[in-house]
Chain A
């Protein structure tokens, strides 16, 4: 019997989790969001997502074959990267966009650094940043409404009668822009002053549009995802469902999402208003439901490799993400800042880890 006896150091028990279990569970947790996207935009959303994911898998296998290392695409991490990349483009994108993005994400974002576990920034977000820099109009324009016809959930009739004739620019805005784009445009004073005639009328109109961003109807549309946006980011409901699953399975930890979303909530409550708008506790909900925050906070900022390992570090990382997101949204040139703020904090991660080394249990002051 002795030739087959294993002698090894303790511990002799393991909780039987492994890398591919973690990855496929995250993919499973993202499935509700994909189902919602397919429901709202039809089969094209599903096809684009699968295209991105399959491209990522094929690319990773090819690069690994070229590098003469074991091919590890079965662990699901490439599939997940491709899926997240596709989740960050809208359903009206050309078919080659997720393909190019996935190839870039896998090759430049991941494999050149040595593959899973060694990449300094989130590959999917790097892929998105690459697409945004290379084809800015394709990525930031051409949003399409969902099948029920809405792009931001705002009802123009509630803002003013005959809006189309009185203020055509305002009408165009609220029928073609995503909620965050509306929020960004309405903060632009030169846009507001060009709306109709008198300054008072313009101000009233602007604050009416702004207030409508966070009335119950809009927020409801944003919660279910019945608005324009990227494939995977719109349905807060579906993302929360997946996030709850990951928290329950102990695959992600609560600190990063809580502090990220919490920071955005607090800062948007304090600084999110515009002159003449009403201050409401509902305003921050507009910011946390809007754009890619839910997707970013639960599925991308929590990426193992690119977030700090220390507990305090994770809190600093998340608050940093939150502050940058709000700064970009409120004063920056883009309507949305989730991906850039996470990328920026990814780069800060080694420094944060070094500065937040924990004290050992029972450590005495020197």
Chain B
């Protein structure tokens, strides 16, 4: 099978193998922890833009970064969850037994903050029921069994798509069911509809991909830069922004160089190289790194500082939705890990079961210790590979037993490493000790409800305390308390 760049999978495999040798050396070098922090704080490494706090996990991108995007044939069966986004779940508008075409509407948006869903293969609706969802729970989904014909609905090719009015563009984006593809999955048309009094002057495209292992955004940037830029111009036109910024971390120098080449003639678009640091892909951190603007906490949105952020994958989806009226029904997803036989970046249909994706990598070469849906810092670990990929699925990471091994929690030493790395300037250790004694007021003073669960604190904790889990527990208790008060 040849992929987009014309390389056979055997060639990609050989390329990857060459990188494996490097991996062992790198993993050793970086697993010792973030020795660079003190240096960078003293200003030695301050030349590139970044944000305060954060950690430097080894990026483990070597496995899959040389694997060109591989277009998978439509699978035999897809499971399309009704909840792939933030907001109310879509409501099915087909019944069991209905014949559907690729791109046909199968579920409608159930409100403004919601998106429609479309069939990603052609065939018959065989079940509408609860199915495994990549966040680890069971959720309502539509199962379609394919007919193997891959018959599409009719798409358009609107060459003058940039002449459309912002409202027409927004309608096409909403109709295509586009939501944020970086993970959170906020409906894109909502993000692009700021209140009238908010002026958006800057659109930032998120090409940071700070999660270790994942390479789907990276491959997209080096293989489809034109479409990303068209998507950016689309988004800028919709919100009326005069400036576009593409933020990319310095571990992807080729992506920076390529996009800089493509934007050389465009004065209003800037490609910004960022210092490698997790969680730079978090919206607020990226905005600060690229523009020095601080989004207010306690529910503040980027629009408060005149910015809209979109993932690079979302930009491509926006472009395809506006120009071709193509629904969001396929995306690039990375399947990777030290035990995956042929780590890959697939262009796969939404709803493809994870097991099909792993099979397409020729499986694994040892027992799996952990299955992670998404990146290892914020992803969900799953009990099996039954869940389907969604519009927000950026990757599957498989770990062996050793990599997955968890050490026992120790008493807190009060070493404050969590405080030093917290990108939101909270006091994680204090929150946790307050949650442990049920002092939620104190936990809140230390910033509990501001926490975005990036996991930097738990990553560095020498006592192996699962801070994110404790903070989450506190948040749930706090929410229950607030409800009880009302």
Contact = CB atoms under 8 A, between A and B. Distances in A.
B425 interface: yes
A315 B55 CA distance: 22
A3 B311 CA distance: 37
Interface stretch (B121-129, B157-165, B229-237, B380-388): B380-388
Interface stretch (A95-103, A112-120, A224-232, A273-281): A112-120
Given A11-B376, A12-B404, A362-B296, A249 B35 contact: yes
B300 interface: yes
A18 B411 contact: no
A311 B297 contact: no
Interface of B is mostly: loop
Nearest to B466: A9
A250 B425 CA distance: 19
Nearest to B420: A253
Nearest to B430: A309
A21 B462 contact: yes
B42 A254 contact: yes
Interface string B407-446: 1001111111001100111110110000000000000011
Interface string A203-230: 0000000000000000000000000000
Nearest to B410: A19
A102 B298 CA distance: 49
Contact of B33 (A2, A9, A16, A314): A16
B23 to A, nearest CB: 15
Interface string B437-469: 000000001110010010100111111101011
B16 to A, nearest CB: 21
Contacts of A360: 297, 424-426, 447, 450
B9 interface: no
Contacts of A334: none
A117 B433 CA distance: 12
A309 B284 contact: no
Interface in A240-255: 247-250, 253-254
A14 interface: yes
Interface stretch (B68-76, B142-150, B362-370): B362-370
Contacts of B35: 248-250
Contacts of B401: 4
Contact of A9 (B411, B427, B468): B468
Nearest to A21: B462
A11 B427 CA distance: 18
B57 interface: yes
Contacts of B463: 18-19, 117
Contacts of A304: 413-416
A7 interface: yes
Q: Which of A4, A9, A359 has the most CB of B within 10 A?
A: A9
A118 B383 contact: no
A158 interface: no
A2 B300 contact: no
Given A304-B413, A360-B425, A15 B369 contact: no
Given A19-B410, A360-B426, A13 B450 contact: no
Could you say which interface size class chain A belongs to?
35 or more
Interface in A333-366: 353, 357-364
A309 B427 contact: yes
B379 A305 contact: no
Contacts of B414: 117, 304-307, 309
A8 B380 CA distance: 8
B38 A12 contact: no
Contacts of B384: 2, 5
A5 B297 contact: no
A353 B284 CA distance: 26
Interface in A277-311: 304-311
A152 B410 CA distance: 45
Contacts of A310: 416, 419, 427
B416 A309 contact: yes
Contacts of B450: 360-361
B312 interface: no
B406 A6 contact: yes
Contacts of A362: 284, 294-297, 300, 424
Nearest to B469: A9
Interface string B253-275: 00000000000000000000000
A115 B413 CA distance: 10
Nearest to B416: A309
Given A6-B370, A13-B212, 11 more contacts: A1-B368, A6-B404, A10-B376, A10-B377, A12-B379, A13-B377, A13-B459, A115-B411, A309-B414, A360-B450, A361-B294
7 contacts: A8-B370, A12-B379, A14-B458, A117-B410, A250-B33, A306-B414, A307-B414
A-B CB proximity, top 8 nearest: A11-B455, A304-B415, A309-B416, A117-B411, A12-B376, A15-B33, A361-B424, A362-B297
Interface of A: 1-2, 4-19, 21-22, 114-118, 247-250, 253-254, 304-311, 314, 353, 357-364
